[in-house]
Structure 1
């Protein structure tokens, strides 16, 4: 498990033990499925990307699986067997039923207890934003993948919940003369490609998407975030929110972002990433200087095509 003592380290932003408790608590609630809508949607989109790969995977890892939001959207014709790995033992016990046989392993995403070259496929659905050492985690994923194996994942991006962050900050500045972080920091999309490349992946694809969900008000949004197990677990979080500041934040949220029907939007930015572990069979970029046409000649392409047609006739 990741260290849970507060140390001065750039890789110790989150209290991983607190995150395990939050996810366990959320999974024990009777209405846990009512808060699964976001992870279900992104899990289905990850599954679509797996279907786009024209092959059958014999052995796959669902890293930060939670209640199995990816695996139950896949079929045995695509993945023969899954290992579901998560820091929350309760979440995995309440996994959504799937036709794919699965083995459940309680582990931290930062320290994978698997041998090198074990899996054909690794997927990860909205869990890596709570990892302290993301470069190490990407290295671990690459290590446990077989050559020509693929990693397909999704994580929250930097614009996630900007409405909530702005409202809370403005309210605390007004009522308390300063503000504290209430939403965890997120990785920038520009960093993902570099981190994946440094971890050993090639043929990288990184794209972004936004999902906007409407809620009756700010308090309903925060209740659902808690039900998702997505409450802040940063070490520098405030353990107590003043009532006056919360009421002011809800009013600011409504005033700045409210819709005509009285609802308020919450934006979730999603980064999707695909990376392949290198193999000699994969296509390789041409050597530098091997091009037979200069970029400067592109403006003459119509002239070249017309001349070629005349020569043929």
Structure 2
């Protein structure tokens, strides 16, 4: 676990069990979980306050750097790479001309997309206003697609992955990062306990998130091969739950679930902050916030894609190797 500053476990169902999504890119989602228009407005508002939104880039910049490292590990120079859900440009800060010639930044929020349009980068940048649920790219047209902390707000995740796979050329690669199911479990449990205590019930305050098993299945279902999924955790310390929620809002990462309540009562909010510090607080008075990140890599099949050997074809025993 990485700390960017100096066991209550959230009860949840796996994403695939908690709600169903459509299985194709051409049909509407069977069940809408997120308010996409609300999410766009949240990103717009966050990008409007340029100074504050740049201050809270620390989390997205860190995850983007790790996505860029995975792209660097592929010993291939790309002509153009699509950054899906780029925001103001987090991945572009960590790539250079030895990796690719042009990065096509795509985001549903035009204000976020052009927040740092006056900045110079080592690679050519093209910006496109794109909804991650409806990709405009032709089939077999892209060498690589990357996405960092954006697809977790997509309703039709299987459909989005299918669209990405179709848009890739044969032997093209997709590298992505999403928030995992244990993200902000401290905040989630504290809010649930506060609402039960003060209001006699709970409401969705943090969006449902996938786990690694979900992502592995979804990548295979979308037609990717040689898939790789790994998990990392980043822990950030805050003075209190209020600063954490302020930063989430400034990031444009506040709640966008359709069934969310429009507000939380003041006494419930105060109780949640108190419970958070009591259950999870550090000795110095700060509170930790855990962000679980799921990284994924998938390749579009081609004639040159390595295939697994047939069962029983091994010439050495695993005991000999170990």
Match of 2:123 in 1: 100
Match status 1:88 vs 2:103: no
Match of 1:51 in 2: 72
Q: Deviations over 1:111-140 (max 9, x none)?
A: 100101111110001001100000000001
| Shift of residue 10, structure 1, vs aligned partner | 4.3
Question: Contact 1:72 / 1:97 at 8 angstroms: preserved in 2?
Answer: no
Match of 2:99 in 1: 78
Match status 1:41 vs 2:62: yes
TM-score by length of 1: 0.90
Q: What is the alpha-carbon distance in structure 2 between the residues aligned to residue 108 and residue 92 of structure 1?
A: 12
Q: 1:295-306, aligned counterparts within 5 Å? A: 301=320
Match of 1:206 in 2: 229
Q: What is the alpha-carbon distance in structure 1 between the residues aligned to residue 122 and residue 29 of structure 2?
A: 42
Question: Contact 2:223 / 2:300 at 8 angstroms: preserved in 1?
Answer: yes
- What RMSD, in angstroms, separates the aligned Cα atoms of the two structures? 1.5
Q: 1:58-207, aligned counterparts within 5 Å? A: 58-95=79-116, 97-207=120-230
Higher relative contact order (CA 8 A, sep 6+): 2
Helix, strand or coil for the counterpart of 1:265?
A: strand
Match of 2:48 in 1: 28
Match of 2:8 in 1: none
Match of 1:226 in 2: 249
| Shift of residue 298, structure 1, vs aligned partner | 5.1
Helix, strand or coil for the counterpart of 2:112?
A: helix
Q: Deviations over 1:133-155 (max 9, x none)?
A: 00000001101111111111100
Q: What is the alpha-carbon distance in structure 2 between the residues aligned to residue 64 and residue 11 of structure 1?
A: 22
The 3 A distance-change label for structure 1 pair 244 and 44 is same
Match status 1:256 vs 2:279: yes
Helix, strand or coil for the counterpart of 2:208?
A: coil
The 3 A distance-change label for structure 1 pair 11 and 56 is farther
Total equivalences in the alignment? 291
4+ residue segments displaced more than 3 Å: 8-11, 288-293
Q: What is the alpha-carbon distance in structure 2 between the residues aligned to residue 54 and residue 74 of structure 1?
A: 14
Higher gyration radius (CA):
1
Q: Deviations over 1:244-288 (max 9, x none)?
A: 000000100011111111100000000000111111112111123
Unaligned runs of 5+ in 2: 1-27
Match of 1:4 in 2: none
Determine which of 299, 303, 306 is the counterpart of 1:283. Answer: 306
Q: What is the alpha-carbon distance in structure 2 between the residues aligned to residue 273 and residue 298 of structure 1?
A: 27
| Shift of residue 292, structure 1, vs aligned partner | 4.6
Question: Contact 2:86 / 2:113 at 8 angstroms: preserved in 1?
Answer: yes
Helix, strand or coil for the counterpart of 2:143?
A: strand
